[in-house]
Amino acid sequence: MDIEREILPTDILIVGAGPAGLALAYKLAKLVEADGSVEMPEILLMDKGAHVGAHSLSGAVMDPRGLAELIPDYKELGAPLEAEVIADAMYYLNKQSAIRIPFLPKELSNEGNYIVSLNKLTAWLGEQVEACGVDIYAGLAGYDLIIKDDRVTGVQTVDMGLNKEGEPRSNFEPGSIIEAKVTVLCEGVHGSLTRRAFENIPCLREDSLPQAYLTGVKEVWQVPEGRIKAGQVYHTIGWPQPHDEYGGGWVYAMSDTMVSVGYAVGLASPDPMNDPHMKFQRLKTHPFMRAILEGGEMLHYGAKTIPDNGFYSMPKLTHDGLLLCGDSAGMLNPQKLKGIHLAIKSGIMAAETLFDCLKNDNFSADALAGYQQRFDQSWAREELYKTRNFHASFKGGLLAGLFHGATQVFCGGRGFFDHRVNKPDYKYMCKLDEYGRMTGRDLVKEKVKFDNKYTFDKLTDVYKSGTMHEEEQLPHLVIADLDICNNQCTEEYGNPCQHFCPAQVYEMVDDDSRPGKKKLQLTPSNCIHCKTCDIVDPYQVIRWVVPQGGEGPNYETM
């Protein structure tokens, strides 16, 4: 289809109004205002969510270091901090009991940190950014990264009003081309534009190990008084995850009666039935969790992937016309499972670099490389480097990981192994007939009887995520070869998509044209944009692309 597209020129295009993108816009506006010698650049800050914070989902215990550097008087200005951490404990779970780990090293301690709702925090940051005169275009989704002669020149926004076959409807509005001197990708984990950058600019990842992801599944609960105190933080390891797989749970008390509970599951799993949602539901049946949730009510649900391999999986941060910030650059401390402070710091460093570019009227690749140099000398790099081997040390299972993790504390993060090479997560998945031989376990689908009180099926949970997509649009889950799904994958892997997706987007249903056979049925309107399918589909035939802007989950207090 030949489409004439409007060209919208701007100076700086920021994709994603999460902590990194908002910090960048805020800091740059403040630097320009304080300096007074350069004109305020045109900054176009876009986000695919219906409003700032709609797609912001996180654990979340925040290390305040980044926010304090960005806005030193953040408390006086009313930053929404739910509670300061007052107690912090880790428990090892087996099926019936919970054993408190007696000693928590300071590297894992949350002293001085805050429990936050990332949704509320980003909404508040958005207000600070708008008060600086920067407009935020919520509901505007970037469909494609434009690269000309190895230079990133901007983004094409998504077409609105296409039908399921890709034909224009009466309300069709073609996406625009936003042309920018620099495009900054702050689109969160495994963003579709970032993926396009990595595929088309191979030097960005030539020195990086593949990323290792977790899928985190989470609910916010209202609980009766007396169960927990605001600021209490619990982490769990062990059950229901097998010892040779990566994962753990959390309980964060946002107030005396509101808790965030969740479970993060490694995607480098041999199990083709790996189901993060089901594991989380099982976790809630444990007496330790039940004692907190008993008599409570589940209010909200969400899921997202987490880039967990840390420093060695980070890409190069700059290219001609391009900067990468926050989760788009894999900036997450895997030891603490925290990235908000690093995302904010990356936004600050990107802003300082772009301020230099403005002053010198020079946005060349060399000038943008100042961002990498800033990172290399920053506390963010130091923190990420110290935790560089943490995730990899769990390759031999939970006990080996705890042992190696402890040794890393005493030798600057090196431990017994350094730079352990890994494969992309999907390559760890076993075929049905390999699983028993490789793991020594029978392949059994984990099950929970959903009681709709403490445990919920995926559709009930999706309803609590506020997810909305217009049904009549081009599917944003693109399957390159359905034949692989309906035949080869069924035989070899048993269609893992029906298990790993935490929103029941993929189902195998009877195929009327082939009696006795099943076919894949997609319900993209359920999708909560976690990207698990794009990461872990064993044939890599699923591609997640952006749906129409303003759609997807609508997270509240998450």
Residues 487-516 that bind ligand SF4 (CB under 6 A): 501-503, 505
**Smallest separation (angstroms) from ligand SF4 to the CB of 188:** 12
Nearer to ligand SF4, 142 or 347 (CB): 142
Determine the 3-state secondary structure of 338 from DSSP. Answer: strand
Q: Is 332 in the site for ligand SF4 (CB under 6 A)?
A: no
Q: Taking a C-beta distance cutoff of 8 angstroms, is the pair 462, 471 a contact?
A: no
CB pairs under 8 A, 24+ apart, for 370-379?
371/317, 371/318, 371/323, 372/316, 372/317, 372/318, 374/349, 375/317, 375/346, 375/349, 378/345, 378/349, 379/65, 379/345
Span interacting with ligand SF4, options 225-233, 409-417, 508-516, 531-539, rule CB under 6 A: 531-539
Nearer to ligand SF4, 353 or 525 (CB): 525
Question: What are the structure tokens assigned to 396, written together?
Answer: 């031999």
**Smallest separation (angstroms) from ligand SF4 to the CB of 143:** 16
Nearer to ligand SF4, 79 or 527 (CB): 527
Question: What are the structure tokens assigned to 530, written together?
Answer: 């976690």
Q: Is 55 in the site for ligand SF4 (CB under 6 A)?
A: no
* DSSP code at position 319: E
Q: Quick one: how far is CA 52 from the chain centroid? A: 16
Q: Is 544 in the site for ligand SF4 (CB under 6 A)?
A: yes
* Chosen residue from 81, 283, 292, 533 binding ligand SF4 by CB under 6 A: 533
Residue closest to 46 by CA, chosen among 558, 546, 555, 553: 546
List CB contacts of 180: < 8 A, sequence separation 6 or more.
Answer: 9, 10, 11, 12, 13, 44, 153, 154, 155, 321
**Smallest separation (angstroms) from ligand SF4 to the CB of 492:** 20
What are the distances in angstroms from CA 279 to CA 87, 217, 300, 529? 26, 9, 18, 19
Q: Residue count at the site for ligand SF4 (CB under 6 A)?
A: 13
List CB contacts of 135: < 8 A, sequence separation 6 or more.
Answer: 44, 45
Residue closest to 218 by CA, chosen among 447, 465, 459: 465
Q: Is 530 in the site for ligand SF4 (CB under 6 A)?
A: yes
Question: What are the structure tokens assigned to 50, written together?
Answer: 């219906």
Nearer to ligand SF4, 215 or 241 (CB): 215
**Smallest separation (angstroms) from ligand SF4 to the CB of 520:** 12
**Smallest separation (angstroms) from ligand SF4 to the CB of 208:** 23
Nearer to ligand SF4, 216 or 238 (CB): 216
**Smallest separation (angstroms) from ligand SF4 to the CB of 532:** 4
Q: Is 528 in the site for ligand SF4 (CB under 6 A)?
A: yes
List CB contacts of 370: < 8 A, sequence separation 6 or more.
Answer: 352, 353, 356, 357
List CB contacts of 492: < 8 A, sequence separation 6 or more.
Answer: 431, 432, 538
**Smallest separation (angstroms) from ligand SF4 to the CB of 454:** 22
Nearer to ligand SF4, 52 or 528 (CB): 528
The tokens 């054993």 sit on which residue?
Answer: 99
Span interacting with ligand SF4, options 106-114, 155-163, 267-275, 523-531, rule CB under 6 A: 523-531
Angle at 341 between CA 338 and CA 347, to 5 degrees: 130
Residues 366-425 that bind ligand SF4 (CB under 6 A): none
Q: Is 527 in the site for ligand SF4 (CB under 6 A)?
A: yes
Determine the 3-state secondary structure of 345 from DSSP. Answer: helix
**Smallest separation (angstroms) from ligand SF4 to the CB of 346:** 24
Q: Taking a C-beta distance cutoff of 8 angstroms, is the pair 429, 496 a contact?
A: yes
Q: Is 477 in the site for ligand SF4 (CB under 6 A)?
A: yes
Question: What are the structure tokens assigned to 527, written together?
Answer: 């999708």
Q: Is 195 in the site for ligand SF4 (CB under 6 A)?
A: no
Q: Is 351 in the site for ligand SF4 (CB under 6 A)?
A: no
Nearer to ligand SF4, 93 or 264 (CB): 264
Q: What mask of x and - would describe binding to ligand SF4 in positions 3 to 22, judged by CB under 6 A?
A: --------------------
Q: Is the dihedral of CA 113, 117, 121, 122 positive or negative?
A: positive
* Chosen residue from 234, 531, 554, 558 binding ligand SF4 by CB under 6 A: 531
Separation of alpha carbons 22 and 20, rounded Å: 6
Span interacting with ligand SF4, options 148-156, 247-255, 326-334, 526-534, rule CB under 6 A: 526-534
**Smallest separation (angstroms) from ligand SF4 to the CB of 425:** 13
Question: Residue-wise over 302-318: b if at least 16 C-beta within 10 A, else e?
Answer: bbbbbbbbbbbbbbbbb
Determine the 3-state secondary structure of 308 from DSSP. Answer: coil
Span interacting with ligand SF4, options 238-246, 308-316, 331-339, 521-529, rule CB under 6 A: 521-529
**Smallest separation (angstroms) from ligand SF4 to the CB of 453:** 24
Q: Is 260 in the site for ligand SF4 (CB under 6 A)?
A: no
**Smallest separation (angstroms) from ligand SF4 to the CB of 504:** 8
Q: Taking a C-beta distance cutoff of 8 angstroms, is the pair 43, 74 a contact?
A: no
Span interacting with ligand SF4, options 49-57, 114-122, 399-407, 524-532, rule CB under 6 A: 524-532
Q: Is 259 in the site for ligand SF4 (CB under 6 A)?
A: no
Residue closest to 130 by CA, chosen among 194, 219, 47: 47
* Chosen residue from 532, 545, 549, 558 binding ligand SF4 by CB under 6 A: 532
* Chosen residue from 302, 320, 529, 545 binding ligand SF4 by CB under 6 A: 529
**Smallest separation (angstroms) from ligand SF4 to the CB of 547:** 10
Question: What are the structure tokens assigned to 531, written together?
Answer: 């990207």
Nearer to ligand SF4, 178 or 536 (CB): 536
**Smallest separation (angstroms) from ligand SF4 to the CB of 46:** 20
**Smallest separation (angstroms) from ligand SF4 to the CB of 479:** 11
Interface ranges with ligand SF4 (CB under 6 A): 477, 501-503, 505, 527-533, 544
